[in-house]
Amino acid sequence: MLERVYRKLVLLLPDRPDTALPLHVIAQTAVVGILAVTARWASVLVTATVAGVVWMGLPPEALMMAAPVAWADRTVVIYLRVTRL
């Protein structure tokens, strides 16, 4: 029923040019698999700095220098994959 309403609403829209991106279609099934991986730039920076202090012999002050940047940065890289099962 939801699909019918969606299709009727889409048919009311004006014709789109051939170069436009296709409209999203509602999935036929409710069973999906989702894989989401989130990597924060701050986490990568802190991990690299700690590894440098522990294994590479960097001075511990490197952690003090990286801490403000890690706390202030909110950059995130997200990989999201949704598949129908």
pLDDT digits (tens, 9 = 90+) for 15-73: 655 555 555 555 555 677 778 877 777 777 888 888 888 888 888 888 888 878 777 77
What domain range includes position 13? 2-84
For the chain, the domain total comes to: 1
| Model confidence, pTM | 0.39
Backbone angles phi, psi at 5, to 5 degrees: -65, -45
Give me Rg for the CA atoms of the chain.
Answer: 23
